Structure 1
Amino acid sequence: METKILSPNELEEAADLLRNGEVVAFPTETVYGLGADATDEEAVNKVFEAKGRPADNPLIAHVSSVSQALHYVKNTTPLILGLMEEFWPGPLTLVLEHNGLFASNVTADLKSVGLRMPNNSITLKLIEKVSKPIVGPSANTSGRPSPTSAHHVYHDMKNRIAAIVDNGETGLGLESTVLDLTDEKNPIILRPGAIGMEDLQPFIPNVTFDEHLLNEDEAPKSPGMKYTHYSPTEPVYIIQKDGIGWEKAIQLFEKQGEKVGLLASEEIIQQYEKRVTNTFSLGSDIHSASRLLYAGLRYFENLESSVILAESYAEVGIGKAYMNRLKKAAGNKYL
């Protein structure tokens, strides 16, 4: 299968492919998604096949409007409607009880489903043309860093999917916040994102964050809860401010004969770039670091670096999401 690269002006062709059961990658404000008709089981199976993704991991369904979302939800409440009005379109996925209209492999046979209205006008038009929700797991092979450009998607999905709608680089760079509202008395953030706990607390004062790791027998309600994610081909180590520090970490790996890559802020890179093999700048603050993290993890592939040292940030605001992804990429390896 030859993978076509489509421009935003070729949405009709992309919609035709989706209506005919094909898989099309699409842009959002977070990362690129791997789209298929969320009511077509065979089409959704092609998504799992392209990603090499375990079928017990549920998929998020993307909608073009609140009214479209409500057509697939079993119950609505003032809280659900209020959150949709406040945060949609945007990087917030709501896990709600569905009414059985989705393909069973979208929900992994759970009674709940994740729904999101992405803040990308191109994709909203695409979903409108398809007239059905489309699934949208990150458009990378399972376990790899998520794609923030069409180039990243093509690298992983060439000849695996029908097409990619190219809308340039994404704005946020990290996947959406996932909020479980199946029990409104106990709302839980299953995955952190750009919308943090502090943003949700005015609407849900009792919201909590799910810190536990799933075992092999548990069914995840959201992507990113169970399996290894975001991993580049080289081992990643996180450098903490209260750890051994950059100088000692670089010395440690130099003695071991490793070629070090730095994934860090511009300030750190300026200090150590002459000491290491390759560098990738995460910019000057946590917002740029979050946007560039996946691109940085991918950057070192096929370069000489044999180990990546990555900068940690405080786990507040979007830093919570950044560290969630970085810890998974590093397998929780700290220095």
Structure 2
Amino acid sequence: MEFKTQLLKADENSLDLAAKYFSAGEVVAVPTETVYGLAGNAYNGETIKKIFEAKGRPQDNPLIVHISDMEMLKEVASEIPGTAYKLADAFWPGPLTMIMKKSEKVSPVTTAGLDSVGIRMPSDPFAHALIVKTGIPFAAPSANVSGRPSPTDAKTVFEDMNGKIPLVVDGGECFAGVESTVVSLLNETPIILRPGYVTKEDMEEVLGTEVKIAAAVTENIKAGEKVLSPGMKYKHYAPNADVIILDGDINKFAGYVNNHKGSGVYAMVFDGEESLLNVPCVTYGKFGDGKSQAHELFSSLRKLDELNARTVYARCPGKSGVSLAVYNRLIRSAGFNIIKL
């Protein structure tokens, strides 16, 4: 089905319209504090199929369910460990997704047939208001064509989703710039499956216990392996260009890139490093500042498409704190193509 997609500012009128479409079983694009999401009724499997169709996304990838309050958590999770309450008290509403055993109300299409579900409470006022107004949690992946960089503004969503959904709500630029942290609470020790704005160190400080990081955060998963979280399978976040990460200091990076310059070759560097390169550059935040890198990453990857880049040599971010989230997204956009300098 093809829609005449509307792009409307976030206000009471667009909230009413979004709720109307949502209640009719349609999918709408909404702002969140992480990235824009394609929101549909988490209980309705037919609606969730429309999300997969709009994205062109395989249906073996689970979606995250967004709730408005702790009472709704009891609707979507059948078992809530004490750890969840501690983390919710510290980080909800906000960019943290917790995986728990799902309730029967959540469609198996939403969870890709798993008996667990990722749940978070968004802090974005529009996303929260939509859940409150409809009284129904929404499932939402990022509002982009599958495999492309996630959108952090409504214009980018419209470019990807025009004609595929009825409504895109413009709530401005997203605060975090990368998707939520996903932590599994299915075992005694919490395990981060996808890093994000809420870090391992943040959670350990709240819980007073170790939080592990899954190997798949920095490595490709094995063929046929089932995943509990989105963002673990397939090539993700990728521009049209071939992205190659160069892991080394700026001097080694500049020397390598300057020796490989050519038509369509770009460098993706940190702020202020452009003068060292003899190729065109796109920047993505400050060196050593994971939060600024996260905020700029996806828009920078999209900009490379606008510039018709064919080969991109990218500076390697750090591998701790919020920088780990940036590294996790960048290695997937590069298809794990990393050169150690």
Q: Is TM (by shorter chain) over 0.5?
A: yes
Paired residues of 2:253 and 2:315 also in contact (CA < 8 A): no
Show the counterpart of 2:69: 65
Show the counterpart of 2:190: 187
Q: Kindly provide the CA deviation profile for residues 206-250 of structure 1, in whole angstroms up to 9, marking residues without a partner as x.
A: 321111343332221000111110010001111222588233222
1:80 aligns with 2:87: no
Q: Which amino acid aligns with 2:150?
A: S
1:4 aligns with 2:6: yes
Aligned residues: 330
Paired residues of 2:197 and 2:291 also in contact (CA < 8 A): no
Unaligned runs of 5+ in 1: none
* 1:283 positional shift: 4.2
Show the counterpart of 1:265: 270
Paired residues of 1:62 and 1:118 also in contact (CA < 8 A): yes
1:173 aligns with 2:177: yes
Q: Kindly provide the CA deviation profile for residues 95-125 of structure 1, in whole angstroms up to 9, marking residues without a partner as x.
A: 0001110111001111100001011111100
Show the counterpart of 1:50: 54
State the distance in 2 between where 1:279 and 1:218 align.
Answer: 35
Show the counterpart of 1:199: 202
* 1:290 positional shift: 1.1
Show the counterpart of 2:26: 22
Q: Which is further off, 325-334 or 290-299? A: 325-334
**Which of 216, 227, 238 in structure 2 is aligned with 1:220?**
227
* 1:326 positional shift: 0.6
Paired residues of 2:254 and 2:276 also in contact (CA < 8 A): no
**Which of 281, 286, 291 in structure 1 is aligned with 2:290?**
286
State the distance in 2 between where 1:178 and 1:306 align.
Answer: 32
The 1:330/1:140 distance shift into structure 2, 3 A limit, reads: same
Q: Which is further off, 323-332 or 74-83? A: 74-83
State the distance in 2 between where 1:248 and 1:271 align.
Answer: 9
The 1:98/1:304 distance shift into structure 2, 3 A limit, reads: closer
1:209 aligns with 2:213: yes
State the distance in 2 between where 1:204 and 1:55 align.
Answer: 37
Compute the TM-score of the two structures, normalised by the length of structure 2: 0.92
State the distance in 2 between where 1:218 and 1:282 align.
Answer: 34
> What is the SS of the residue equivalent to 1:266?
coil
Paired residues of 1:278 and 1:305 also in contact (CA < 8 A): no
Q: Which amino acid aligns with 1:311?
A: R
Q: What is the Cα-based RMSD across aligned positions, in Å?
A: 1.6
Compute the TM-score of the two structures, normalised by the length of structure 1: 0.94
The 1:73/1:327 distance shift into structure 2, 3 A limit, reads: same
Q: Which amino acid aligns with 2:79?
A: N
Paired residues of 2:190 and 2:212 also in contact (CA < 8 A): yes
State the distance in 2 between where 1:18 and 1:292 align.
Answer: 30
Paired residues of 1:73 and 1:96 also in contact (CA < 8 A): yes
5 Å-filtered alignment, 1:95-110, equals 95-110=99-114
State the distance in 2 between where 1:269 and 1:150 align.
Answer: 29
Q: Percent identity?
A: 37
**Which of 233, 239, 245 in structure 2 is aligned with 1:232?**
239
Paired residues of 1:278 and 1:304 also in contact (CA < 8 A): no
**Which of 312, 316, 334 in structure 2 is aligned with 1:312?**
316
Q: Which is further off, 38-47 or 261-270? A: 261-270
State the distance in 2 between where 1:151 and 1:329 align.
Answer: 21
